[in-house]
A and B are shown apart, each in its own frame.
Chain A
Amino acid sequence: MYNLETLKELALTVPEYNSIVDKLEREPNELELGLFGALWSEHCGYKHTKKLLRNIKSTSKLTITNAGEENAGAINIGDGKAIVMKIESHNHPSAIEPYEGAATGIGGIVRDIFAMGARPIALLNSLRFSNLENVKNLEIAKGVVRGISGYGNCLGIPNIGGECFFDSCYESNPLVNAMCVGIVDTDKILSAKAEKPGDLLLLVGAETGRDGIHGASGLASQNFEETTELRSAVQVGNPFLEKLLIEACLEISSLKGLVGMQDCGAAGITSAAIEMAKRSNLGISIDVSKVPTREKMMTPYEIMLSESQERMLLAVTPNEEKEIFEVFDKWDLKCAIIGEFIEGNDASVYNKNNLLSKTPINILTEAPEYDLEKIIVDFKPKKHSFTLEKKYISFEKQIIDKYLNKIINSNNIVSKKSIFQKYDHHVQTNTVIEPGQDAAVIRIKGTEKMLLFSCDGNSRYCHVDPKTGAEISIAEACRNVSVMGGNPIAITDGLNFGDPTTPRGAYELIETFKGFSTACEKFDIPIISGNASLFNEGHDSSIYPTPIIGVMGIMNKKNKIPSLGFDKIGDSVGLLGKKFWGSTKGLSGSEFQNIISNNSKGELSFDIDYEIVLQKQIRTLVDNNLLESAHDTSLGGIIVALIKACNFNNLGVEINKLLPEDWAPAMFGEDQSRVIFSFQSKNKGKISKVLAGFDWEEIGIVTSKDIIFKNITFETDNLLKSYNKGFSTKL
């Protein structure tokens, strides 16, 4: 019989337990219950998202893998090369132990990439914290940034971009999403499978310790209030060991004896080995006494569920293991054969000759699937309308300046240089565009191609309207790539949500997937991999729905990449899009709205078909080398876009427009589908030709300083100083 305490620790419900008993036609023993807890966890089993994920476009003519079937998604970029990429969250561990939580988050996502035989070539990350004025939040943010820096730098993988955003909804649930990109020859992609019965199961890397037991079930699958005391569930990282593992595993990836490779991540050997067996349609037999342990007297249960970092599982052809051992020996890595793949469908765990458990793999890996639609039957989302108070309509320079200063000093807007500086972004000598621009760009050695990456999301929009917010998230990530000339071809997503068992949580997930579905179809772009982190709530609050979009674009090395900012005095400035100024609707979920009301509400407006054409237009302009700079308007509205464009080369701009009486929505409205670009005036004719029939206008000229409208001037000296000084508190 079960005990409620144990079930709670494993994050299994009583009905789930009963379903295990039904399927097994007997009670599971203690070890088996641990295996179920891990494999039926939200983290491994995708209980609340599996159904939704099926409706999302996950393939294109370029995809090589099927989403979710391997450690990461792979996409063909031509020249015989594939890119492997994935985002993974490490939210709960980072909340408890920021440095190690974030560090091991990097470790985990990097292992997913080289498990496929790919050399990791770039990292990006997306961070969410609450306000830095609170010392606790500041310490979390500092720890996370240093954890990423400490682990990533040691591996020699450039951290080329990402973003960092602050909102009080992350007070008890900071988010740490890390994205890794790898490259591999298409004919050398490894699969996380064995070939045939008799293939050996080899464990390599760190010794197995008691760290991280119940990490997958305990930390990632419950809400946060219950788990703050589970300190031992956070693992400690060893980036040096990981670096050795990368080199050794890539070295053996072409050896004859290597059949398949799998990262040992959440839920440890249990999840890694059993999922490998499932993919191979084989059974598996594991002897825990063969696992090298860090501590004495570890129980089989602890060995099977330990989440010790820097371990990989390999499927190896029998009698061919010698060469593989030699490579691991060269890199001073410990490895051991801990089991073998067998005929049938059973996962058997032995301690020497004692059979501890024998469980059908199809039952272990078929976690229940919950239909969220049933949870939201009677749910009506609350709508909060938004109207702008009169004081924001009175046209007084002093008041306008006051709010402009608040915006430009907001931690969400200011330069993030102090974070990027802590990450090596030059190593591997591919970085063409460094972090801090709309997208990061790397060249691919031995080809004529460059790849562009952006990792982005806007949870305030998703809070206001999860479906449209999700569409905008994908559109904006793609736009970041498009404005620099890249054609977006693949997405990896990080889903960060609250409790999916509540009507609100379920509604947010369902709506987000609707938005994804529309956006992926219309943009014709697949989501090739991803990660779900649910139950991000605690202390009576949930995070805003926070889908993070990692997008990859591709372009030719010959094209000139437009810079983020204005290039030369005298260049012309243009607007691509319908309207230069923002609108009141555009303030919904905006930075300005949050500054005046500390809230995100209202109604979103977004025309995705228009956006797609706009992005095509901007890419055509870059293809024809007609642009000096291009930058989309996003957070903070048109004025912030202009300030950033001026900041790039410390220039100014004169715009042939009157600032409207309702200056607040005009300046700060975050209306979508607007791009500011600059060009040499001699190219105007060609630009007109390319953009014929589409909305665009010449709006001004690049000057030496200040942002000058017909009826008002904003001096750039102080604005740029505020922007460049960075965060309000040293991070």
Chain B
Amino acid sequence: MKIGIVVFPGTWSDRDTFYALSEVIKIESEYIWHKDQSLNNCDFIILPGGFSYGDYLRTGAIASFSPIMEKVIEFSKQGGAVLGICNGFQILCESNLLPGILIKNKNLDFICERSFLKVNNQSIYSDQYKQNEIINIPISHGEGNFQLDKYNLDKLEEEERIIFRYSSETGDETEIYNPNGSVNNIAGIVNSKGNVLGMMPHPEKASEKILGGEDGKRIFTSIIENISQNV
């Protein structure tokens, strides 16, 4: 199995994600340039974080029109696994692979901190966590405030598609533990088929003990194991 990491101009989590996969988890990974016409037979596609196209217009908006995204959309429609991290989540929303929109943080400022997340393990990206496990993964964004209309939000809740929610260390989900103002403390969601995950926190930044924790690693190992079983 092989993982493809898409590089847009302005992407910067590509190298971190590559390191976590190839050096820490030790699985074959490669970069896919945004002007490429093919996903090069990768089994799993990651849209990493950064400021693609300088975040001009709206975050993720211009990247969603780049040549490679046609292939990514086609791949996901056929059931291929796609993970969008931070800017990648914003691109997935702009590409209509996920519902909702990510607007400016409630305090209007960039936030970098280690956030606690409560996990719903009902997805191929999170089944190595315990249900409601609290994990610690850094966030780093200016526009991570997830918003969605009530009808679709209710649907997300009903279909148990909210995989990560901001919480306290003990699982408290009150407003003070919501760093960016996201509706229902949403930090990560999947599409209705469950093969596309978008999340604002950076699991690649929490994949080694020396960096302060490795809670993020299991997102990669969950999906890798699920894909391996089907390959």
A697 within 8 A of B: no
Contact B211 A426 (CB under 8 A): yes
Complex interface bits, B105-120 against A, C-beta within 8 A gives 1, otherwise 0: 0000111110000000
Query: Which residues of chain B are near A421, meaning CB under 8 Å?
Result: 109-113
Contact A431 B13 (CB under 8 A): no
Residue of B nearest to A430 (CB): B211
Contact A153 B142 (CB under 8 A): yes
Query: Which residues of chain B are near A155, meaning CB under 8 Å?
Result: 12
Residue of A nearest to B23 (CB): A445
Query: Which residues of chain A are near B53, meaning CB under 8 Å?
Result: 240
Query: Which residues of chain B are near A445, meaning CB under 8 Å?
Result: 19, 23
Query: Which residues of chain A are near B111, meaning CB under 8 Å?
Result: 421-422
Residue of B nearest to A243 (CB): B10
Bound-state CA distance A422–B23 (Å) is: 29
Among candidates B9, B16, B56, B210, residue contacting A432 with C-beta atoms closer than 8 Å: B210
Contact B112 A425 (CB under 8 A): yes
Query: Which residues of chain B are near A149, meaning CB under 8 Å?
Result: 109-110
A156 within 8 A of B: yes
Contact A428 B140 (CB under 8 A): no
Residue of A nearest to B35 (CB): A330
Contact A240 B210 (CB under 8 A): no
Complex interface bits, A521-560 against B, C-beta within 8 A gives 1, otherwise 0: 0000000000000000000000000000000000001000
Among candidates B9, B23, B109, B205, residue contacting A240 with C-beta atoms closer than 8 Å: B9
Best-surrounded residue of A153, A243, A427, A445 (most CB of chain B within 10 A): A427
Bound-state CA distance A701–B176 (Å) is: 35
Bound-state CA distance A249–B203 (Å) is: 29
- CB proximity of A163 to chain B, nearest CB, Å: 18
A34 within 8 A of B: no
Query: Which residues of chain A are near B205, meaning CB under 8 Å?
Result: 426-427, 429
Contact A443 B210 (CB under 8 A): yes
B100 within 8 A of A: no
Bound-state CA distance A238–B9 (Å) is: 13
Contact A426 B208 (CB under 8 A): no
Among candidates B35, B50, B109, B142, residue contacting A156 with C-beta atoms closer than 8 Å: B50
Bound-state CA distance A516–B23 (Å) is: 43
Asked, given contacts A153-B142, A244-B9, A332-B9, whether A429 binds B16 with beta carbons under 8 Å apart, the answer is yes
Instruction: For chain A, residues 403 to 456, give those with C-beta under 8 angstroms from any C-beta of chain B.
Output: 420-432, 434, 443, 445
Best-surrounded residue of B55, B111, B112, B138 (most CB of chain A within 10 A): B112
- CB proximity of A632 to chain B, nearest CB, Å: 23
Contact A429 B208 (CB under 8 A): yes
Residue of B nearest to A441 (CB): B210
A612 within 8 A of B: no
B51 within 8 A of A: yes
Interface size, chain B (Cβ < 8 Å): 33
Query: Which residues of chain B are near A239, meaning CB under 8 Å?
Result: 51, 54
Bound-state CA distance A209–B54 (Å) is: 20
B94 within 8 A of A: no
A331 within 8 A of B: yes
Best-surrounded residue of A156, A426, A431 (most CB of chain B within 10 A): A426
Contact A153 B140 (CB under 8 A): yes
Asked, given contacts A240-B56, A422-B110, whether A428 binds B15 with beta carbons under 8 Å apart, the answer is yes
B190 within 8 A of A: no
Residue of A nearest to B56 (CB): A240
Residue of B nearest to A146 (CB): B109
Asked, given contacts A154-B10, A429-B204, whether A424 binds B54 with beta carbons under 8 Å apart, the answer is no
Contact A240 B51 (CB under 8 A): yes
Instruction: For chain A, residues 205 to 263, give those with C-beta under 8 angstroms from any C-beta of chain B.
Output: 238-241, 243-244
Contact B51 A243 (CB under 8 A): yes
Residue of A nearest to B142 (CB): A153
- CB proximity of B211 to chain A, nearest CB, Å: 6
Asked, given contacts A240-B53, A421-B113, A423-B112, whether A429 binds B10 with beta carbons under 8 Å apart, the answer is no
B202 within 8 A of A: yes
Interface size, chain A (Cβ < 8 Å): 33
Complex interface bits, A136-157 against B, C-beta within 8 A gives 1, otherwise 0: 0000000000100110011110
B20 within 8 A of A: yes
Bound-state CA distance A430–B53 (Å) is: 25
Query: Which residues of chain A are near B9, meaning CB under 8 Å?
Result: 240, 243-244, 331-332
Among candidates B20, B35, B109, B110, residue contacting A429 with C-beta atoms closer than 8 Å: B20
Contact A429 B19 (CB under 8 A): yes
Complex interface bits, B174-209 against A, C-beta within 8 A gives 1, otherwise 0: 000000000000000000000000000010110110
Instruction: For chain B, residues 143 to 167, give those with C-beta under 8 angstroms from any C-beta of chain A.
Output: none
- CB proximity of A47 to chain B, nearest CB, Å: 38
- CB proximity of A249 to chain B, nearest CB, Å: 14
Bound-state CA distance A330–B35 (Å) is: 9
Residue of A nearest to B207 (CB): A429
Complex interface bits, B75-91 against A, C-beta within 8 A gives 1, otherwise 0: 00000000000000000
Contact A427 B10 (CB under 8 A): no
Contact B210 A422 (CB under 8 A): no
Contact A427 B51 (CB under 8 A): no
Instruction: For chain A, residues 296 to 329, give those with C-beta under 8 angstroms from any C-beta of chain B.
Output: none
Contact B112 A422 (CB under 8 A): yes
Residue of A nearest to B139 (CB): A426
Bound-state CA distance A428–B211 (Å) is: 11
- CB proximity of B216 to chain A, nearest CB, Å: 10
Bound-state CA distance A424–B211 (Å) is: 14
Contact A156 B211 (CB under 8 A): no
Contact A154 B202 (CB under 8 A): no
Query: Which residues of chain B are near A432, meaning CB under 8 Å?
Result: 210-212
Bound-state CA distance A443–B138 (Å) is: 18
Residue of B nearest to A443 (CB): B210
Bound-state CA distance A239–B54 (Å) is: 7
Query: Which residues of chain A are near B204, meaning CB under 8 Å?
Result: 429
Asked, given contacts A153-B140, A243-B10, A429-B211, whether A424 binds B50 with beta carbons under 8 Å apart, the answer is no
Contact B138 A240 (CB under 8 A): no
Residue of A nearest to B50 (CB): A156
Residue of B nearest to A333 (CB): B9
Query: Which residues of chain A are near B12, meaning CB under 8 Å?
Result: 155-156, 243, 427
- CB proximity of B144 to chain A, nearest CB, Å: 13
Query: Which residues of chain A are near B110, meaning CB under 8 Å?
Result: 149-150, 153, 421-424
Bound-state CA distance A445–B208 (Å) is: 12
- CB proximity of B113 to chain A, nearest CB, Å: 6
Bound-state CA distance A238–B207 (Å) is: 32
Instruction: For chain B, residues 30 to 50, give those with C-beta under 8 angstroms from any C-beta of chain A.
Output: 33, 35, 50
A238-B54, A330-B33, A429-B207 given; name 8 further pairs at CB < 8 Å. Answer: A155-B12, A239-B51, A243-B51, A421-B112, A429-B20, A429-B204, A430-B211, A443-B210
Chain B contact residues, CB within 8 Å of chain A: 9-10, 12-13, 15-16, 19-20, 23, 33, 35, 50-51, 53-56, 109-113, 138, 140, 142, 202, 204-205, 207-208, 210-212
Task: Pick 26 A–B contacts, CB within 8 A, sort by A.
Answer: A149-B109, A153-B112, A154-B51, A154-B55, A155-B12, A156-B50, A156-B51, A239-B51, A243-B10, A243-B51, A244-B10, A421-B110, A421-B113, A422-B109, A422-B112, A423-B110, A424-B112, A426-B202, A426-B211, A427-B140, A429-B20, A429-B207, A429-B208, A429-B211, A430-B211, A443-B210
**4 shortest A-B CB distances, which residue pairs?**
A156-B12, A240-B54, A424-B140, A426-B205
